[in-house]
Amino acid sequence: MLRQLRLALRTGVVTEPPPSLADVERIGERLAGEVRRVFGRSLAIGQVEAVSRNACELEIAGLTGPHYDLERFGLHLVASPRHADCLLVTGPVTRNMAEALRRTWEATPDRKLVIAVGDCARDGGLFRGSYAVVGGVGDVVPVDAVIPGCPPPPLAILAGLLDAIGRLR
């Protein structure tokens, strides 16, 4: 155990530095304006994990923390697809998850956005070609936007939301 502690202290912090608050504010304020313009209220986001490694989910969860504080820009994560305006779907779609994703999409009220978050959601990523994987999200439900990355950082997710909502003009 002491050897592990020494190694951790020698290695130091290995995560990337957070983006500047100015970048977060700039994208967040533009996003808040677009959400108000298009929806006339806040945006309810439903997160769907179509079987993934949880890296994208961790980045989405990072948006709710104090550094990004997604809710100050008028975006809220909701538990039910019936309350969602937008679905953030992560991970490749497995054969067992395809029908559940389709039903979740159908349960979401119209004028819905579907955003595939990460490389796995885009095209199956690392799992493409597996006997258990149907493919990306677009192989099961219509996708409005893709946020590439493995995983995409929180700022890229905010920028991807801004881009997707901007297309709804």
Side-chain-side CA neighbours of residue 108 (13 Å):
26
Question: With 70 as the cut, is the pLDDT of residue 169 above it?
Answer: no
CATH of the domain at 106: 3.40.50.12280
Question: Average pLDDT over the chain, rounded to whole?
Answer: 91
4-25 average pLDDT score: 81
Sequence-separated (6 or more) residues with CB below 8 Å from residue 115: 86, 87, 88, 89, 143, 144, 145, 146, 147, 160, 161, 164
Residue 6 counted as domain residue: no
Residue 110 counted as domain residue: yes
Sequence-separated (6 or more) residues with CB below 8 Å from residue 95: 132, 133, 134
Question: With 90 as the cut, is the pLDDT of residue 157 above it?
Answer: yes
Per residue in 84-101, pLDDT (tens digit) is 999 999 999 999 999 999
CB-CB contact of 142 with 111 (8 Å): no
121-131 average pLDDT score: 90
* Residue 127: domain span: 15-166
Residue 3 counted as domain residue: no
For the chain, the domain total comes to: 1
Question: With 80 as the cut, is the pLDDT of residue 16 above it?
Answer: no
Residue 29 counted as domain residue: yes
Kindly report the backbone phi and psi dihedral angles of residue 117, in degrees, each rounded to the nearest multiple of 5, phi listed first: -105, 115
Residue 9 counted as domain residue: no
Count of CB atoms situated within 10 Å of the CB of 95 = 12
Tokens of 160: 């991807």
Task: Tell me the C-alpha distance between 147 and 91, whole Å.
Answer: 12
Residue 4 counted as domain residue: no
Tokens of 113: 């956005």
Residue 10 counted as domain residue: no
